[in-house]
Amino acid sequence: MRAIPLRRYLLFVAIVLLGTVADLTTKSWIFARLWQRPEVLEIVPGFVELEVSLNQGALFGIGQGMTRLFAALSILALLGVAYWLFWLGEIRKLWLCVALAAVTAGILGNLYDRLALHGMVWPPNYELAGEPIHAVRDWILLRYGDYRWPNFNIADSLLVCGAIMIGIEGLREQRRAASAGTDEGAPSNDD
């Protein structure tokens, strides 16, 4: 097995750091300005807006209140990424290195929120007033007419982009395997 170049590790760490810092910095900045005000800032009127919301669940708000479960799943996912990249050596593949770095940054950004490391507490008008907020801070809102996409953040975007890249790599692997099978004279399943 060939050695993994240092630059691949540096690329992974750089993407994880940049993605995580971008996510946490934008969340902090937007929430500092809009958290106490139920205000929506239009960036592209009718299409792109800034609106803060808290998600105590996962994708599209599924599993509200199950923050501990999602935090545990996030930690397991981080372990899975480490295993895939470093133990199995997939960090050698540039595409997977970038994809899994994006996923890792997304996981870390949202895990930070779920663990309430941001220091936010529920305001007085909430049932949990004064308690730490264990919820993902979302702030990007996309609309088209009456349709409203659920609020999201940079970490969510990194997770989605990384997952799409992993899917593309899976398709590419299937093509390579099919091509290798055909090249060797083996029957192909591409009917």
Catalytic residue positions?
138, 156
Residue 132: how many CB atoms within 10 A of its CB?
14
Tell me the residue type at 138: D
60: nearest Cα among 127, 160, 128, 145: 160
Nearest CA among 81, 80, 79, 57 for reference residue 70? 57
Those residues whose C-beta lies under 8 Å from the C-beta of residue 129, and which sit 6 or more positions away, are 121, 122, 123
Asked whether the beta carbons of 93 and 156 are under 8 A apart, the reply is no
Q: Which residue has the tokens 């060797």?
A: 184
Pairwise CA distance, residues 135 & 50, whole Å: 18
C-alpha span between 69 and 90 (Å, rounded):
28
| 139: phi then psi, degrees, rounded to nearest 5 | -150, -10
Tokens of 13: 């760490």
